[in-house]
Structure 1
């Protein structure tokens, strides 16, 4: 069973979705306006989560690279803000990692009312791990801080979603923009942290 999750104002709503699930873990239907959630994610230790990620990381990097987005080049070499992949309810109950480029130097210490510099890029890659033992890459979720006034509707943040094979699911500044507009709706719940979620406390590392 898959559920569709959409967070509005900090509340996560789940709507059941039917459809065939591909090897990427996403239902094959044309009305994808929110993350499709895994109902039975495995409960992994940090050691096991890191082991699964290590086994997939090169495959994930090659897949996302097919999107040919310069801003994501070598993202796995960026500072990593978690010590192990962690389940993100707002990313479909997938295990994610939180990377940020060097421009986003204050991502880990951001206080209420502070903002990230223009050019900051945050990247969350993901993997699906179910309690049945299915393990495969998920989507890559990206935020880029744009110059003031570039897109007031998203508080000058650009949201991009790249599928595991490198195909572009959507980009708020271009291709299929309406399909990823919900990203900002979710991130409005953390407007006081410049619209950025942060790593759960138990998984945080210093950068």
Structure 2
């Protein structure tokens, strides 16, 4: 229990660091002094409203992330989607997010305690910021890739990647700027019994 509390605290630190990154982005994109409040004060949206806003940004987001040229993320928006509408994720800077998983991660939605995802599983969580003033813009793309056993034992063989909306790389634990995203695994240790993967809030699970 104590270790989970520590991990959850690290999640909040993780969220704060993402908020700082997003604040600078928001200022650049909106030009408004209040843009940096978007993370602290996200809009209250119905599922229908969140879906409409996501639809308006979806193509722009996909094109921006594609500039990073990660082959394993190609056409990620065509992968199975596990939430029925974008939802706010506290551990991703209070952004509205969507949880996609590639076909290799076939058991992501039904993963039981002690089970693991297959090698080659990729989870992609795209994000958008919606302010309470009605400003909207894409956020970062958060990625987890399951590596071959023994490839990255300090991170339970998970690779963490964060791609900015313009396709620039914020960090890759198996590549450039690894230190920028190393703390992601500290957060995910809170769900080690689910192969270090969080799932969709119950009220947003597809079919519920």
- Same fold by TM (over 0.5)? yes
Q: What is the RMSD of the two structures over their aligned residues, measured on CA atoms?
A: 2.3
Alignment CA distance shift 1:71-1:113 (3 Å):
same
| TM-aligned CA deviation for residue 161 of structure 1 | 0.1
- Establish whether residue 175 from structure 1 lines up as the match of residue 173 from structure 2: no
Output aligned runs, 1:18-57, within 5 Å: 21-24=23-26, 38-57=39-58
Contact 1:187 1:197 in 2 (8 A): yes
Contact 1:119 1:144 in 2 (8 A): yes
Contact 1:24 1:137 in 2 (8 A): no
Match of 1:154 in 2: 155
**Partner Cα distance (2:6, 2:90) in 1:** 13
For residue 161 of structure 1, give the secondary structure of its aligned residue in structure 2.
strand
Contact 1:25 1:138 in 2 (8 A): no
**Partner Cα distance (1:105, 1:129) in 2:** 31
Unmatched tracts of structure 2, length 5 or more: 29-36
Match of 2:8 in 1: 10
Deviations 1:150-178 (A, max 9, x none): 00111000000000000000000010001
Alignment CA distance shift 1:19-1:87 (3 Å):
closer
**Partner Cα distance (1:77, 1:25) in 2:** 31
Match of 1:64 in 2: 65
**TM-score (normalizing by structure 2):** 0.86
Contact 2:144 2:161 in 1 (8 A): yes
Contact 2:140 2:164 in 1 (8 A): yes
**TM-score (normalizing by structure 1):** 0.86
Unmatched tracts of structure 1, length 5 or more: 1-6, 27-35
Bigger share in helix: 2
Contact 2:159 2:172 in 1 (8 A): yes
Bigger share in strand: 1
